[in-house]
Amino acid sequence: MINYMKFIFTLILVILVVSNDIFAQCPMCRMAAESNLESGGSAGKGLNTGILYLLAIPYLMVFVLAMIWRKHRSRLAKN
């Protein structure tokens, strides 16, 4: 149990250390999208669509896996 807690603590620590680089990119992307939209481009709209896809895919995957699991469980219950 103690090894498991050490692993979880180390994992959280690594995620926190690495996440600083990830957060640094958000303002740069926002400024690039805003300047592109102001100059009449459509890259900002494409960026928004890409973000929506990135948000939707994990939920869709979980939904599909849940439906497969439910179907499998109902077949086992019938037998």
Q: Give the closest residue to 57 by CA, choosing from 65, 69, 45.
A: 65
Nearest-10 Cα torsion for 56, 59, 19, 50:
-10
Q: pLDDT tens-digit profile of 39-68?
A: 888 777 777 788 888 889 999 999 999 999
Q: What pTM does this model have?
A: 0.49
Helix (H) / strand (E) element for 75: namely: helix 43-78
Residue 44: partners with Cβ closer than 8 Å, 6 or more residues away: 33, 34, 36, 37
Token pair 């690039």 is found at 32
| pLDDT tens-digit readout, 3-46 | 888 988 998 888 877 766 555 556 777 788 778 888 888 777 77
